[in-house]
Structure 1
Amino acid sequence: MYAKPFVLADFHHSSLLQSLIMLFEGRIGGSLFRPIGTEWYTHGLWRMSTHPNVVDQFLGVDEATPIITSETLPDLTYPSIYSYQDAGFSHKGITLEAFYRMPMDIVIASIPEHIEPFRHLCNTHPNKPKLIFQIGNSWTVKDKHVRNVMASAIVDEVPSNVHFIRYHQEFDLSVFSPDFSYPDRNINSLINCFATAGHFSSDWKLFEQVEQLMPDWAFRSFGGECRDGNAEGPTGVAERISEARFIWHTKNGGDGYGHVIYNSAAIARPLIVKMEYYKDQMGKELMTDGKTCVAIDGLSPEEIVQKIVFYSDEKRYAALCKNIHSNFKAKVDFNSEAKALQKFIKQLK
């Protein structure tokens, strides 16, 4: 079953979508599509936002290239399937009409708002595809209609009747490869909207205070609305991580999975973190103060500076880099997890 599945997955964010493509296309040999065209929204089947700009950002076709499908699906209205190049990787978008005409096997909802409309898609499609709730954030399994869960996060109280697997979202280890050099005095943050979102405001203020106390260091904040612009695609993110001596990741609310955390560990770059944010999160497995990261919980800006300087000593720093990468390899094995995921997919309810 599902030897080479046709899969629909919502586009939550690029790193998640790329990980699903690596699994369903790269590992299994299937085909993965995401919704494209505003009819998904007007029919109430896409519910990430009601703002016109966001709807157009996720469902618009302006940046897409139509793919001719007349040979395989001659009855489709052209165009119906699109190819995208998004920050260093390609993916495919599919119209609502094409979804119903293609032999879909699996539908993946990665936000709670999509569980109900995507369940409707499964029930009304001729193939009756299976629904998976992919959890990569700090969410729970509350919807009684959820029967299959792929969780790259800590999920508590999973009902016994739910087909469940926990895993790490895969990323390209040829791009995020270990670098044991001794970088310049750069401290980079890759938290999207770090400088603008209200719930990050106290940590952004702390970032700026420490920056002012360390004038001979370069502090930079990368992200969609951040001070120093975006880091484009996997290669751009990897470059920003590799060039930094430390990655500042004080993300209030924590990460369910946290690509920046795992990307940094894969590259062998220690993190500056607040451990309290990861008490019940998956990324905690990579954090040991003074061994794989620099914890700054409850410290004043002056105390943070002292701690950064202490662990910036070349020998201490080399130990941090070695430890965080070794711990990453011990905790994450994409090959073995892919085998477990394939077994999980074959047994979908």
Structure 2
Amino acid sequence: MFTKPIVFTDFHHGSLMVSLLLLFEKRLGGTLLTPIGLEWHTQGFWKMWEYPDTIRQFLEPVGKGEPLNDSRSIYMCQDGSGFTYKGVTLDAFYELPVDIVIASVPANVEPFWRLCQTHPSKPKLVFQIGNDWQLQQWIAPNVMTSAVIKTIPKHIHSILYHQEFDLSVFHPDFSLPGNYISSFVNCFIDDGGFAPDYHLFQTVEALMPDWTFKSHGIVCRDGYITGDQPLAEKMRKARFIWHTKSGGDGYGHIVYKSAAVGRPLIVKAEYYNEKHGKELMVDGVTCLAIDGLSPEEIVNKILYYSEEHRYSALCRNMYDNFKLRVDFDKEGEALKHFVNNLI
């Protein structure tokens, strides 16, 4: 059984990092560390991406504060969005009694396996899966997956769970919001795989001049939203959250956070067949499915369900279904059991 485990993980994205912090630091009383310093890449122990700017973005934090311990091995860091986390250099990693190593992208599984093999403490290797990566081989003996993956070999120690987020931040507001429709898909732009759905979004927008449409994301027209509190407020301000994400999400933080704040989604339900987020989507009950509809039909459907009594029912249903499907406290106990039985 681990007591206040020291856990090392790659920094994939902020929402995943928050979920791991809530598990390993808040629930288990441990310490969660991420790599800092370019030597992680140059020595072959970090392989998430090969673009120089991206490597620096992840391994050279904007703010590297004072060390958190006397040995100067753990630093409180800050990324470009202001998110704070604990970073550790490669040399210091080998000096700490690390218990668990977590890879959250396939490219890091093999190098993180080598970290476990060469570290004096022989930490346990876990592969955290948030997307269906269509894997052909499995190296990690332990898998914690927040995506529905049907190909996990039976000999692997695994658990299916929901990535946790702060329900004191993402809470419902059942008052009637204004005529806002917002998207939070990071790459919802006029290029690439999301382009057809973005064109549809723009077409519907043009047909609804009395409504305000927003597209928020890293490269989106209305800018990136930094921090959970501003994101939750933007979600509650929206009447509907437009989430036509081609390929669907493996887990889907926007899907689950929308449900937690009681805001119905506009979706293409076909994108969520056999995906985790499908459990939250019932057309006309918790969401508006627009599969196969013309722009004019989509407008009519939005306006129909915007009538206050219908809309109020959608919001309540969305939140109630979330509470029925997701219990972070109960899953936290299951995750503790999973962690204490790593192989």
> TM-score scaled to structure 2, two decimals?
0.97
Aligned letter for 1:6? Answer: I
Please list, as runs of the form range in 1=range in 2, the aligned pairs for 1:297-308 lying within 5 A after superposition: 297-308=291-302
Instruction: Please list the CA deviations of residues 20-43 of structure 1 after superposition, one character each: whole Å capped at 9, or x if unmatched.
Output: 000000000000001111000101
Match of 2:28 in 1: 28
Equivalent position SS for 2:63 = coil
| 1:240 Cα deviation after fit | 1.1
Is the Cα–Cα contact under 8 Å of residues 196 and 226 in structure 1 kept in the other structure? Answer: no
| Equivalent position to 1:318, from 312, 316, 323 | 312
Match of 1:91 in 2: 85
Is the Cα–Cα contact under 8 Å of residues 61 and 77 in structure 2 kept in the other structure? Answer: no
| Equivalent position to 2:331, from 327, 337, 341 | 337
Equivalent position SS for 1:33 = strand
Structure 2 unmatched ranges of 5 or more: none
Is the Cα–Cα contact under 8 Å of residues 88 and 234 in structure 1 kept in the other structure? Answer: no
Instruction: Please list the CA deviations of residues 257-289 of structure 1 after superposition, one character each: whole Å capped at 9, or x if unmatched.
Output: 000000000000000000010001100000000
| 1:88 Cα deviation after fit | 6.2
Cα 1:313/1:68, change in 2 over 3 Å? closer
Match of 2:64 in 1: 64
Match of 2:248 in 1: 254
Please list, as runs of the form range in 1=range in 2, the aligned pairs for 1:91-110 lying within 5 A after superposition: 91-110=85-104
- In structure 1, C-alpha distance between the alignment counterparts of 2:264 and 2:136, rounded to whole Å: 36
Aligned letter for 1:14? Answer: G
Aligned letter for 2:198? Answer: W
Aligned letter for 2:283? Answer: D
- In structure 2, C-alpha distance between the alignment counterparts of 1:281 and 1:60, rounded to whole Å: 34
Cα 1:88/1:59, change in 2 over 3 Å? closer
- In structure 2, C-alpha distance between the alignment counterparts of 1:228 and 1:160, rounded to whole Å: 45
| 1:141 Cα deviation after fit | 5.2
Is the Cα–Cα contact under 8 Å of residues 62 and 78 in structure 2 kept in the other structure? Answer: no
1:203 aligns with 2:193: no
Equivalent position SS for 2:149 = coil
Instruction: Please list the CA deviations of residues 27-65 of structure 1 after superposition, one character each: whole Å capped at 9, or x if unmatched.
Output: 000000011110001011111111111011100033221
Is the Cα–Cα contact under 8 Å of residues 196 and 225 in structure 1 kept in the other structure? Answer: no
| 1:68 Cα deviation after fit | 4.8
Match of 1:113 in 2: 107
Match of 1:275 in 2: 269
> TM-score scaled to structure 1, two decimals?
0.96
Is the Cα–Cα contact under 8 Å of residues 68 and 76 in structure 2 kept in the other structure? Answer: no
- In structure 1, C-alpha distance between the alignment counterparts of 2:230 and 2:320, rounded to whole Å: 24
- In structure 2, C-alpha distance between the alignment counterparts of 1:344 and 1:253, rounded to whole Å: 29
- In structure 2, C-alpha distance between the alignment counterparts of 1:196 and 1:259, rounded to whole Å: 23
Is the Cα–Cα contact under 8 Å of residues 131 and 147 in structure 2 kept in the other structure? Answer: yes
1:166 aligns with 2:160: yes
Is the Cα–Cα contact under 8 Å of residues 262 and 318 in structure 2 kept in the other structure? Answer: yes
Equivalent position SS for 2:85 = strand
Q: Name the count of aligned residue pairs.
A: 342
Identity of aligned residues (%): 56
- In structure 2, C-alpha distance between the alignment counterparts of 1:329 and 1:20, rounded to whole Å: 21
Cα 1:148/1:140, change in 2 over 3 Å? farther
Cα 1:59/1:89, change in 2 over 3 Å? closer
| 1:252 Cα deviation after fit | 0.3
Aligned letter for 1:313? Answer: E
- In structure 2, C-alpha distance between the alignment counterparts of 1:34 and 1:104, rounded to whole Å: 12
Is the Cα–Cα contact under 8 Å of residues 140 and 156 in structure 1 kept in the other structure? Answer: no
Choose 87-96 or 293-302, whichever is displaced more: 87-96
1:10 aligns with 2:10: yes
Aligned letter for 1:132? Answer: V
1:176 aligns with 2:170: yes
Aligned letter for 1:330? Answer: L
Is the Cα–Cα contact under 8 Å of residues 141 and 158 in structure 1 kept in the other structure? Answer: no
- In structure 2, C-alpha distance between the alignment counterparts of 1:84 and 1:312, rounded to whole Å: 44
- In structure 1, C-alpha distance between the alignment counterparts of 2:44 and 2:322, rounded to whole Å: 41
- In structure 2, C-alpha distance between the alignment counterparts of 1:345 and 1:182, rounded to whole Å: 43
